[in-house]
Structure 1
């Protein structure tokens, strides 16, 4: 660049741009061995793979020490490091990235469509707290080795001051009691605390969290369609064709609607073209109508109309609350949830799409979960000891029968 007449500043800028745009800088690129077979990855490659899987960052000193000593290449060494890393605060990165990507709320802060002016207190502090709530709970579930089904059934959550006030009810009461200290104790604004018994407020698991409810609302109204689709597609793995391009938009605000959202959705059941998809998820979203667009419990919509969130399933069961829907899903769709969780978990761990040759590993994951009370540790141990995680295909790999 200097020989071409570029100045010092321009030359340095061009070099820096080239470095930052290089695939070697932007992606994890590990050297692939030559040959047609399948080979063990190197110890440093394994450390990097494990660290980016569990922490979304580079290996720390203790992990690198096991690379040097050779312990990471042993089963006991690998399991010991995995357990250590799962108990480290960095595992919050896994909770944030994996679940945020799988359940499609990772971009909530950047792509929030709620009209903040319509909801008192819906400010940046609250939005940040809403974003962090699932991270805190999911980290707790992982580090206490709880069943993965508690994603749906958990009767506890984590809140700070602004989120507790936003939710109100039992949650706010518990939080205030925890910090009912003498004057001068300190501002609890950023102090997170576990609260329990949230089912008393009609909440349970991820489905009643403000981030899920708000991400699947729009403007100044809820969206039972989006909320129901989120459950059916993202949680249960059910696939649907894209909607027609000429579907009319509902009003931006419940106040401007000619009737309740439920009334406006009636065509979804009367029009056969709509019903073929909407029959699978509209009713699930309607059950969540007792939560407003920003995730607060309500009895009336923004226009003052009474909320009707009672539905009857094809199985003849009546759903009228989050808990009744969770019970229904675990009774009739547990296998779908477990299957979807395992597929997403494996894909995230390997950094690629799940393929046909992964099916035996998926079957092993599901079997071991069923034999061990569906606990989180089973998934981590099974995946990190699998050939998919520990080995790599050669550059000239040829599949054999």
Structure 2
């Protein structure tokens, strides 16, 4: 039976793991100068201390003859870590708290977290999490039996588990040297504690604390079609596809396909992507893209001034975020419609809480689809209480924030931060004030202040067109008893209200290109550079238009593109 205390296991884990995680700010390494023991042949990015320390060569003790290239390392986000752990250990496996935090860049954690350096404290957090997960499996007879599938004391069961689990955890078959080291770790630990399950524990803990699990390593191979570029290997493509479309590492079937060389040619990659999009995991994995792009977690976490909105509690904001998820599922996955249809869909999702905000009859139970009439001034994603509330302040609307949301999330316009000496807070101007002013009047100062005018000219007119919706997203005819002017402007186009704004955005080519940019950034983990990636963005925008904005057609084109399959050789 397993030991009743985890203390010996934890001590053993720290000794066994011997992590060599990168702690510098650089996120790439030279294959011929390998602080992580990068393995050209096997794809290993480090010796995990499960044996003699490795040789840092090609996996069999010989030095690599391949020219030096840069190995791009991307750290798993917390969501990718959690989903990968549950793929490995079981969907109901509780993921430990206290992991190193993510960072967002251009809205996405895949962009912001990937290049983050890892501190010694982060290493300890990963080690602790790995030990906690190993404890959870070994201390639960049903879990450990389901995971291992045989008696680790019998025959080759323990060695077979090492190789099978290592393949899934490292997202590739273990090299001979790695297999030998982990076999020695498992057998040695089992012998030391006179318990084969302790050998299983040591392997789980060591592998989940390994950089081979915690990092996605893009090494690549020479591209015969484009000598100036390297293409990702078939096995690397399995990880690129699975983390993008599913949010976790590849399953055994995808690894089988990859190790047979089935993810090299563009047509084969596109076909694999179609199969992956048909799997239930795609809705969950791509759901992370929508959550970060649209900021649904912030929607659920917001608060309002209780003196102004006394009923706006956590339940209200949870319902708001839930409507966004239901809308995305309905438009993108159930209808297989264009991403742009999120702008002008007439289908709302309403529960008892949201019905009060929208002035509708409450549904019988739960979140219910409701079709809005053509003359309803509320339309699409921008008309949801979630977006309108998120882009407001605690007591009043914030046209500037609403305009920024439209420009950044839907048009990918880069806006500089406000000057440090400018006060960006506007007075709440409560209704009992002697001289109330509309938000449009309060924002007029932006037009006269040279430090503000340039940026606010491209955001304020968009948000002011939404002033008929208050800070909770409710319709109103007046602002503090004063009439509302919902005139707006986008470029040279003038309009009134949400419906006319949406009609302009629906035909705006910048919106289509912005969708492509967001998906490119989320999928590749980096922000495009004008002199390198922009031609690819233009070509992908054509693919997006040809697919009528449908993810089922565009994503296979994206992942089979040169931009996703290859990367520039570093001189």
The answer on whether the counterparts of 1:216 and 1:227 sit within 8 Å (CA) in structure 2 is yes
The answer as to 2:323 corresponding to 1:133 is yes
The 1:324–1:72 alpha-carbon spacing in structure 2 relative to 1, beyond 3 Å, is same
The answer as to 2:540 corresponding to 1:340 is no
Superimposed CA distance per residue, residues 13-67 of structure 1 (whole angstroms, 9 cap, x where no aligned partner): 8668637066827843226258796444333322222121112123345434534
Alignment partner, residue 184 of structure 1: none
- Between Structure 1 and Structure 2, the one with more helix by share is 1
1:289 Cα deviation (Å)?
0.9
Alignment of 1:370-381 (within 5 A): 370-381=545-556
The answer as to 2:423 corresponding to 1:247 is yes
Q: Please, what is the CA RMSD of the aligned residues?
A: 3.3
1 CA distance for matches of 2:9 and 2:428?
51
The 1:231–1:24 alpha-carbon spacing in structure 2 relative to 1, beyond 3 Å, is same
The answer on whether the counterparts of 2:316 and 2:353 sit within 8 Å (CA) in structure 1 is yes
1:346 Cα deviation (Å)?
0.7
Alignment partner, residue 183 of structure 1: none
With the length of structure 2 as denominator, give the TM-score of the two structures: 0.57
The answer as to 2:497 corresponding to 1:307 is no
1:378 Cα deviation (Å)?
3.8
Alignment partner, residue 275 of structure 1: 453
Superimposed CA distance per residue, residues 282-324 of structure 1 (whole angstroms, 9 cap, x where no aligned partner): 11101111111111222234x44443323466747341x2111
2 CA distance for matches of 1:151 and 1:351?
24
Superimposed CA distance per residue, residues 126-174 of structure 1 (whole angstroms, 9 cap, x where no aligned partner): 22221122222223333233123213222223334433343233xx46x
The answer as to 2:213 corresponding to 1:29 is no
Task: Show structure 1 runs of 5+ residues with no match.
Answer: 1-6, 180-187
Which of 323, 335, 351 does residue 499 from structure 2 map onto? 323
Which of 20, 26, 40 does residue 126 from structure 2 map onto? 20
Q: Which SS does the other structure have where 2:328 is aligned?
A: helix
The 1:296–1:381 alpha-carbon spacing in structure 2 relative to 1, beyond 3 Å, is same
Q: How many residues align?
A: 369
Alignment of 1:106-117 (within 5 A): 106-110=297-301, 112-116=302-306
Which of 212, 220, 233 does residue 408 from structure 2 map onto? 233
Which of 354, 357, 381 does residue 166 from structure 1 map onto? 357
1:349 Cα deviation (Å)?
1.0
Alignment partner, residue 3 of structure 1: none
Alignment partner, residue 277 of structure 2: 86
- Comparing both chains, which one has the higher relative contact order based on Cα–Cα distances under 8 Å and sequence gaps of 6 or more? 1
Alignment partner, residue 206 of structure 1: 381
The 1:254–1:46 alpha-carbon spacing in structure 2 relative to 1, beyond 3 Å, is farther
1:341 Cα deviation (Å)?
1.7
Q: Which SS does the other structure have where 2:431 is aligned?
A: helix
Q: Which shifted more, 215-224 or 145-154? A: 145-154
The answer on whether the counterparts of 1:91 and 1:139 sit within 8 Å (CA) in structure 2 is no
The answer on whether the counterparts of 2:399 and 2:463 sit within 8 Å (CA) in structure 1 is yes
The answer on whether the counterparts of 2:270 and 2:557 sit within 8 Å (CA) in structure 1 is no
The answer on whether the counterparts of 1:103 and 1:235 sit within 8 Å (CA) in structure 2 is no
The 1:106–1:19 alpha-carbon spacing in structure 2 relative to 1, beyond 3 Å, is closer
Task: Show structure 2 runs of 5+ residues with no match.
Answer: 1-6, 18-122, 128-208
The 1:43–1:155 alpha-carbon spacing in structure 2 relative to 1, beyond 3 Å, is same
1 CA distance for matches of 2:457 and 2:522?
31
Alignment partner, residue 148 of structure 1: 339
1:105 Cα deviation (Å)?
4.5
Q: Which SS does the other structure have where 1:353 is aligned?
A: coil
The answer on whether the counterparts of 1:365 and 1:378 sit within 8 Å (CA) in structure 2 is no
1:348 Cα deviation (Å)?
0.9
The 1:117–1:55 alpha-carbon spacing in structure 2 relative to 1, beyond 3 Å, is farther
The answer as to 2:563 corresponding to 1:388 is yes
The 1:62–1:167 alpha-carbon spacing in structure 2 relative to 1, beyond 3 Å, is farther
Bigger CA radius of gyration: 2
The 1:19–1:372 alpha-carbon spacing in structure 2 relative to 1, beyond 3 Å, is closer
Alignment partner, residue 287 of structure 1: 465
Q: Which shifted more, 47-56 or 153-162? A: 153-162
The answer on whether the counterparts of 1:220 and 1:253 sit within 8 Å (CA) in structure 2 is no
